[in-house]
Amino acid sequence: MTTAIRVASIAVLENDTITILENAGLVSPPVNNKRKILSSSILSSASFTPTDFETADITDPETAIEIPTHLESKEALGCIGFSSERAASLWDCFLNLPYDEDMDDDFETFIRDNVEYLDEDAKTVNDDWTAILSGLGINERLSAAIMADEYEDLRYTSTCKHWIVEAVMEGFAALKNLNQNLKAKLEAENAVTEPEKPRRDNVVTSQVPATTIDGTLCPTADNCSTNLWHGTTQSQARAFFDEQTGEVNTAIFETSPGDLSRRRLAYWTPQKEIAGRYASWLKHKVPVAEVVLVQVSIANKFVSSLGQTYLWAMDGEKMNPVFQEYVWHCRRRRAVPAALKWHSKQAIVVANILSGKKVDYKRTDGWNSIKSEDLLKAKIDGEGHLAVQWAFQGNEAIEAFEAHCRSRVWIHEYGSLGTLRTDMC
């Protein structure tokens, strides 16, 4: 291992892609290591087309979007959410790191490490979220998106550092995949007169119902199956669903801690409205990313074969102490009490979602502080409902779920590269 000066050698856009865009008058020359792509509606993926989910807080794609010329650069750090001062400091630090030729993709690790190093974090309204954002050098755009009043209830479903890590890493992934996405779109436009090649991925449009490869319509809710949803980015969706083999990898969606485990789990919701709100907020935080809703349809007979437990937050008009204590321990990365371990051994856990704005995680008996107002709400068909989440636990259950999901996955584009309505920010 030696100390060496690194250079910003990985271009966000390849020369042949730039040439095509230049010939169409869609890209500007680089200025200060950044360039603008015009008519950014071309950045919608060829594999994901718009659907009829509500996107009232997202405008049509903006006429120009600024991107860095190089992936590993000070400008890229600014694009994904760091202030100009912090981006310059981080870039200088990265340039002077001991260089190991055997290490690949270490810039992503470097970015993540420089968010996660801070011991302090913010979880509730009593914590100083602004101090965490400022301490990590997050710029005004990303700070405002994380702290947006409209998404306050979603914000308290996890911690400040969790949302920062999600935003900067998904922003970097979007830049990393931008050239591939652009080439796919441009090639699709150039081949518009050619017969469409069959694809294993499932596409939804607002005009034509989605179908699988064998022609099965994208399912709606019925008595025989349950639809589960997850709001994410196109990059994550592609990592989750292999369009060539049809295989899925739920580990891509795993996070920790969560409501149902101190360890990593993938969380789903049967309420597309909740997944849609997460996707909408994600678009605010990572405007350079293409945001999607992932839908899987699972047979109720399959669910029954695995077995499940329910952790509902309310017992009539009172809080359910089992939910309170179980979720409180998981959020604190603690083992659940012995009396509650039975729930952690079940294949599927179905529960309400804790927002936790005023929960006292510091007290040893803080689970008593969870109140009904700390529960995430969903507005469905104009009526208020408690939000619901599903999680599959244990290797056997997760592997069974992944096998069951083959040919049962649909990807819905939620928002292509674009900007946000100013009156919604």
104-129 pLDDT, tens digit per residue, is 558 999 999 999 888 899 999 999 99
CB-neighbour burial class of residue 362 (10 A; exposed 0-12, middle 13-18, buried 19+): exposed
**Helices 106-116 and 84-95 sit at what angle, rounded to 10 degrees?**
130
pLDDT in tens, 308-327: 999 999 999 999 999 999 99
Output the furthest CA–CA distance in the chain (Å, rounded): 68
HSE-CB at 273 with a 13 A cutoff on CA atoms is: 13
For residues 17-30, average pLDDT: 88
Strand bridging mode 388-392 / 409-415? unpaired
Closest of 272, 371, 355, 267 to residue 317, by C-alpha: 371
The model's confidence at residue 100, banded by pLDDT at 50, 70 and 90, is: low
Question: What pLDDT is stored for residue 204 in this prediction?
Answer: 41
The yes-or-no verdict on residue 101 having pLDDT over 70 is no
For residues 246-272, average pLDDT: 95
- 368 DSSP assignment: G
Question: What pLDDT is stored for residue 103 in this prediction?
Answer: 55
Query: For residues 84 and 293, what is the distance between their CA atoms, to the nearest angstrom?
Result: 32
Question: What pLDDT is stored for residue 334 in this prediction?
Answer: 93
Comparing 54-68, 255-269, 398-412, the range with the smallest average pLDDT is: 54-68
pLDDT in tens, 168-204: 999 999 999 999 888 877 777 776 545 444 444 444 4
Question: What pLDDT is stored for residue 43 in this prediction?
Answer: 54
pLDDT in tens, 325-369: 999 999 999 999 999 999 999 999 999 999 989 998 888 778 999
Query: For residues 18 and 23, what is the distance between their CA atoms, to the nearest angstrom?
Result: 9
Give the pTM.
Answer: 0.85
pLDDT in tens, 375-400: 999 999 889 999 999 999 999 999 99
Residue by residue, DSSP assigns 223-274 as: SSEEEEEEEEEHHHHHHHB-TTT--B-GGGGEESS-SS-SS-EEEEBS-HHH
Query: For residues 414 and 425, what is the distance between their CA atoms, to the nearest angstrom?
Result: 18
> How much is the CA Rg of the chain, to the nearest whole Å?
22
Question: What pLDDT is stored for residue 425 in this prediction?
Answer: 25
